[in-house]
Structure 1
């Protein structure tokens, strides 16, 4: 179970009972075989732990004191099962108080003891609890890892109730991060198990979770149906146990659905009702969520003053308890208010905060909305280039959500089909039960009458025959009704298949257009490859070298260049142009042309001078001079000019850097050279950093680039590269490869010959990327100084 946005524990009415029973089972199953009353420390620890569990909700401070006292007695008796249960109880006390670091610490100790004892149920319980903590801290991917481990164990030990609870936890996280198909699948599995074991609390919470999912998908009628079903379950539970937490959750959800339906009066009525309850119970988390709901309702009604008041109150409450949940949407709503009141600077600040939080936690719907808001504010203040870029990002993320529309239709169809099948099965069972009862009644009457009067026997036989015909007719009518409903389901299936066929035809048309475009771009790639230095050109260098060159979309925005200046020095360059594919290729062709022209005019030219001249020519070529820009196009570049006799290297970079790897130590005697050092075993890597300015328009204007001098030695490996390799997503957690891993990789391969290095770099990034798409052009140029 996990806390909701209102701060109340899920499955709260049975939490105390479940935990108490679980801990008592631990003691019974893991006792050493001696009578508890014969071991005074053990029985005392049992008593203190039981009292702590009882006081968990009503007096958590006393519960914590009792649990800490129980640890001393459990340690005295060396009872590992007790220690495991006590540490779990202390973690749960901190968890109910939202002290997540302390909670996680004690749950982890309980998990370690469970591992030592090979207690599978204890490990699953600890994994679930640690997942709960991470979910409330918005660490959704970490929470998923722990829930999946708990699910695997619970399935292994065949604990159906715990399997269902873990499935609900997984479904809730999948819903938050936008993986709706996984969410509904886990909800349905949990619902089946709860129905099988007849657990009302589980059915109530699962119904509420499905309502929230359908609300996210804008299936509001279905959402209201399940929210009202959850409210009915929780009201029955309240009558039995006196616990009203579930009723409050259901009322809050119904208010939220009314808001999305546009019924603001009902939404305000239900939300204010829940806020009054949370104020009475001093539930800070619940109050914060209610203020957010009220703020959004007033925002939609155009009442900016009251909307701002409630949203700021929510921020204050969340700050007081360290709650970061929903901050992405909260800041976005505040930004909308300021934008509507013509405060673009403050609106931009809020939208940027919303985007940073949504990206941090990978909440795709909030990322898409934040980019849309930023596009609007940039358009309002006249920065059309930034507005277009933000809108493109918005559509990209929205497309990733819209791509699941067909899956959403199929999911809805399968869900409705399942419900109708269950309804039909229930009606069949009722009909069979009715028929069974009727037959029993007929048989009973037959035997009674047989004892009374033989003459009446024949009449009752006739009656039984007539009843049998009536039942058969009833079954036939019901079978006809079932067949009609089956035909209706098949008709819905045919409609979905027609929609699928329409989408398939559109896909084929797009594929043909894509083939024509791809053929054209492929031909363009031949032209680009012809302009780049050939393999023979690279082999004419006085040193061994390799080039890893992987365009993202056939043609590339990255390019490299090498030539021998009139002075005899060797020029080596690598560049990363704005964008990739066809736009990037145009920029790369411009860059190669400018670089070749500049380098051919001055035999003693410096790298920094080349970059400055290229910047001036790019600004002129793209009409970006005097700050008049319609687009922020340009390129990043690293240039090294090496004297083959003295091995002195002059370097300058526009955002891009150079790396030198050497066996042994590297001493940087010039403090003006901005650099980073890294070591591995006997090898050292120095990263000579470029200036943080592009070749193109920049806020710093025409500030000159810096020329840096570095003394190479024989055996050194020099690397120039773009950022595409380090920015590639992949691995088990689908994160960037990162520059730190790139440095470590170069340290580990620099002793190989150049073909082996290229092969290793290629294999490493392909294995890391897996079946994911390449996100950017990749370029790594390596030279072995000899």
Structure 2
């Protein structure tokens, strides 16, 4: 489990003289005489210790709070409760932390203390993140931004980073990158070493998720150097943990063990239970990878115990998933399934997509081992859907948009750098002019002689100091420009890498679906083939996605022509697979078994669909899987038409009369019903009669001025009107009506309409 760069509160301590400050504040405690002075000294000393020695910090804040209660200083009580809340959060005591921070916030409202309001809300958000309550965390951080406004850009950047951390936990790389970029843009204007270390860490995590481990390792090491130089032990432990994960993935176990143990030593010293549990879990994963299963089991159980005690839901999801994987590798499938399903319950609660994906993959593999292929297939569907959520085309477009905006800003920065370079050239020209003037002055003074030697020395000294100051300015500006170039290049490489990875994923998925389209269109009959049977036909076929859940089918058997319009469950890839099942079953029932009665055909189709899908599924799992169909049999010799419809209607226009055929209310497949009956409707039609069969995609489409559904009533009226037009023009009229009605709206379902003129 990677550790994100996390800011516990908004106070910015300088660590360069931390020891001197601590000694100075301790002396203040010793020499303070009044209650107010002692109380303030205790509080300031505790504030300095809270991230190094939490127990001592807790002791001194409580002493300060005791004095504040004694002298009834309500404002100081507010500040002390806020500080205590931060310390309890750091120790993993979330219940006490929430109570104290809430008290501090309420007091902040009473006293209109903006700083306390900001700090309390921010740290309540931190607790929400730790517990996996991301919705509450987002609400708290949004309120922090409202309090800050545009007054404090550094606090704003820190809050953007907090948002980025939440979205990264949820595998929403687009939003994470947006917020990290917003924070980075602010840090570039107000550079500080601690903020730069935070940016290095978060950028390294995104490189890690892109499997660019060497780049991620370089950024983690840069972050670690800064945190070691300022004495940030919490930050150092985070870096040790992240570096260890990289070495683990690079199969450098010795280095991974070394850095995990470094992190554990610091986390125990700091009393950071959440970080300690995360590192135990990571170390357990490493032991499992090295097949030290007993050690792995002990470490993972230790981690889970701590995470359950402090209600760390994200960490709990990770540990449960790891234990499930461990038992799977030990061939203890029952225990593995138990832990993986527990992980899924918690993971779904906090939307932990990466952990859910790992749990689904392990359960799929277990069920394959147990030959429970239908259960394995179910988890394969969940895996496919979750992978699509993490890497879909819409997210790719958004990442491209972020990259475009970032490149625009980068070009603006390049223009600034060019301007700065021009200034440097101007300064160099001025410097050369100064040198020329200097030489002229020296020559002049030497020619004048010793008499004006003193004046000559004064000029030289002035020129010397002028040159030194100019050199300092030049060196500072060059260093600043060089640093900006490096940062811009690193961020540009990151965005380019992210874009390429997502493009590859999108191309693979799109290629697979396009190939499926070729397969589906290969089984759909050509219009010319239908028309070759003394019929005229038009087809409107509009898949919602690349492939379709709707399809139409044709066959001729002796004097009978069979035409079907079918609407399968779903659309896109799932619907397309169901359409292939329907096509194969119709071929088998009519062409091979030569069953010609439409009601018998639908009954056999119903049995076939249920048989194909049943394999180990319960009835309640089957109730939504199936299809709706209109089947028409035409006797070419005597113009007899027999139709049977399942949960669809059809329309016949003959000799100026309109007949609506209402199908049965039962679907093909779905839940098993003993009394499921399909009816035949028989007609002898005149020449030039037209049969219209259709799915529900046309009349379910939203559009029009009020953005409502087209509706079945309006659609039937449209068919009646169109039936009076020339047959060759009817398809054009229907397509134009659908396009005009839909307008700019998104097509919500597959559309299939067939007209058959006898």
| 2:225 aligned to which of 228, 232, 237 | 232
2:194 alignment partner in structure 1: 201
1:221 alignment partner in structure 2: 214
1:85 alignment partner in structure 2: 79
2:365 alignment partner in structure 1: 376
Q: For the residues of structure 2 that align with 1:349 and 1:429, how far apart are their CA atoms?
A: 68
Q: For the residues of structure 2 that align with 1:122 and 1:504, how far apart are their CA atoms?
A: 50
Q: For the residues of structure 2 that align with 1:632 and 1:495, how far apart are their CA atoms?
A: 42
| 1:98 aligned to which of 92, 95, 105 | 92
Q: For the residues of structure 2 that align with 1:625 and 1:498, how far apart are their CA atoms?
A: 36
Q: For the residues of structure 2 that align with 1:100 and 1:58, how far apart are their CA atoms?
A: 16
- Cα distance, 1:390 vs. partner? 0.6
Q: For the residues of structure 2 that align with 1:412 and 1:102, how far apart are their CA atoms?
A: 43
- Cα distance, 1:425 vs. partner? 3.3
2:69 alignment partner in structure 1: 72
Distance 1:300 1:494, change over 3 A: closer
Q: For the residues of structure 2 that align with 1:6 and 1:500, how far apart are their CA atoms?
A: 28
Provide the secondary structure at the position in 2 that maps to 1:14: coil
Mapped contact 2:91–2:272 kept (Cα < 8 A): no
Distance 1:411 1:42, change over 3 A: same
C-alpha distance after superposition, 1:379-432 (max 9, x if no partner): 111111111111011011112222246766886898799889679939948955
2:275 alignment partner in structure 1: 286
Instruction: Say whether residues 1:308 and 2:302 are aligned partners.
Output: no
Q: For the residues of structure 2 that align with 1:48 and 1:495, how far apart are their CA atoms?
A: 49
C-alpha distance after superposition, 1:324-349 (max 9, x if no partner): 33222322222222222222211211
- Cα distance, 1:134 vs. partner? 0.6
Q: How do 1:578-617 residues align onto structure 2 when only pairs under 5 Å count?
A: 583=578
Instruction: Say whether residues 1:519 and 2:511 are aligned partners.
Output: no
- Cα distance, 1:55 vs. partner? 6.0
Mapped contact 2:569–2:578 kept (Cα < 8 A): yes
Q: For the residues of structure 1 that align with 2:410 and 2:123, how far apart are their CA atoms?
A: 32
Provide the secondary structure at the position in 1 that maps to 2:171: coil
Mapped contact 2:160–2:180 kept (Cα < 8 A): yes
C-alpha distance after superposition, 1:364-391 (max 9, x if no partner): 2222222121111111111111111110
Q: How do 1:707-726 residues align onto structure 2 when only pairs under 5 Å count?
A: none
2:258 alignment partner in structure 1: 269
Mapped contact 2:624–2:671 kept (Cα < 8 A): yes
| Residues 64-73 or 515-524, more deviating | 515-524
Provide the secondary structure at the position in 2 that maps to 1:335: helix
| 1:138 aligned to which of 117, 132, 148 | 132
Q: For the residues of structure 2 that align with 1:772 and 1:328, how far apart are their CA atoms?
A: 37
Q: For the residues of structure 2 that align with 1:186 and 1:201, how far apart are their CA atoms?
A: 18
- Cα distance, 1:143 vs. partner? 0.9
C-alpha distance after superposition, 1:668-702 (max 9, x if no partner): xxxxxxxxxxxxxxxxxxxxxxxxxx9459xxxx9
Q: For the residues of structure 2 that align with 1:305 and 1:285, how far apart are their CA atoms?
A: 23
- Cα distance, 1:251 vs. partner? 2.4
Q: For the residues of structure 2 that align with 1:272 and 1:249, how far apart are their CA atoms?
A: 12
1:679 alignment partner in structure 2: none
Q: For the residues of structure 2 that align with 1:246 and 1:349, how far apart are their CA atoms?
A: 35
| 1:59 aligned to which of 56, 63, 79 | 56
- Cα distance, 1:42 vs. partner? 6.7
Q: For the residues of structure 1 that align with 2:747 and 2:125, how far apart are their CA atoms?
A: 30
C-alpha distance after superposition, 1:17-62 (max 9, x if no partner): 9xxxxxxxxxxxxxxxxxxx9xx88777656644654564352442
Segments of 5+ residues of structure 1 without an aligned counterpart are: 18-36, 461-466, 475-480, 529-553, 559-578, 591-614, 638-693, 703-754, 756-770, 776-786
Q: For the residues of structure 1 that align with 2:496 and 2:311, how far apart are their CA atoms?
A: 48
| 2:147 aligned to which of 141, 153, 156 | 153
Instruction: Say whether residues 1:425 and 2:417 are aligned partners.
Output: yes
Mapped contact 2:549–2:575 kept (Cα < 8 A): no
Mapped contact 2:551–2:579 kept (Cα < 8 A): no
1:745 alignment partner in structure 2: none
Q: For the residues of structure 1 that align with 2:108 and 2:135, how far apart are their CA atoms?
A: 24
Distance 1:273 1:217, change over 3 A: same
Q: For the residues of structure 2 that align with 1:375 and 1:506, how far apart are their CA atoms?
A: 21
Distance 1:179 1:448, change over 3 A: farther
Q: How do 1:154-553 residues align onto structure 2 when only pairs under 5 Å count?
A: 154-156=148-150, 158-238=151-231, 243-403=232-392, 404=395, 425=417, 428=421, 432=425, 435=428, 438-439=431-432, 442=435, 445-446=438-439, 448-449=441-442, 451-453=444-446, 513=517, 519=541
2:20 alignment partner in structure 1: none
Mapped contact 2:313–2:350 kept (Cα < 8 A): no
Mapped contact 1:331–1:354 kept (Cα < 8 A): yes
Provide the secondary structure at the position in 2 that maps to 1:325: helix
Q: What TM-score comes out, normalization by structure 2 length?
A: 0.57
Distance 1:383 1:189, change over 3 A: same
Q: What TM-score comes out, normalization by structure 1 length?
A: 0.55
Distance 1:73 1:498, change over 3 A: closer
Distance 1:432 1:270, change over 3 A: farther
Instruction: Say whether residues 1:14 and 2:6 are aligned partners.
Output: no
Provide the secondary structure at the position in 1 that maps to 2:214: helix
C-alpha distance after superposition, 1:223-253 (max 9, x if no partner): 1221111112112213xxxx43333322222
1:622 alignment partner in structure 2: 610
Q: Which has the larger radius of gyration?
A: 2
- Cα distance, 1:127 vs. partner? 1.9
Distance 1:5 1:185, change over 3 A: closer
Segments of 5+ residues of structure 2 without an aligned counterpart are: 17-31, 450-455, 461-466, 475-481, 525-539, 554-565, 586-602, 626-669, 675-712, 714-744, 750-758
2:622 alignment partner in structure 1: 634
Distance 1:193 1:277, change over 3 A: same
Mapped contact 2:391–2:505 kept (Cα < 8 A): no
| Residues 351-360 or 426-435, more deviating | 426-435
Mapped contact 1:16–1:53 kept (Cα < 8 A): no
Q: For the residues of structure 2 that align with 1:70 and 1:772, how far apart are their CA atoms?
A: 66
RMSD: 6.2
